[in-house]
Amino acid sequence: MPRYLTVGHLLRQLQNIDPNLPVRLAINPDFPFAHYIGTEVVVRDGKAFVAEDGQEDYLPTAVSDALAWA
**60: pLDDT confidence band, cut at 50, 70 and 90?**
very high
- Spatial neighbors of 19 by CB under 8 A, at least 6 apart, are none
Pick from 49, 69, 60, 68: nearest CA to 24: 60
- Cα 16 to Cα 8, 22, 29, 56: the distances in Å are 14, 14, 29, 25
* Digit-coded pLDDT (tens) for 3-17: 778 899 989 989 999
* Digit-coded pLDDT (tens) for 23-44: 899 888 778 899 999 988 999 9
- Whether pTM > 0.95 for this model: the answer is no
**1: pLDDT confidence band, cut at 50, 70 and 90?**
low
Q: Please count the residues of the chain.
A: 70
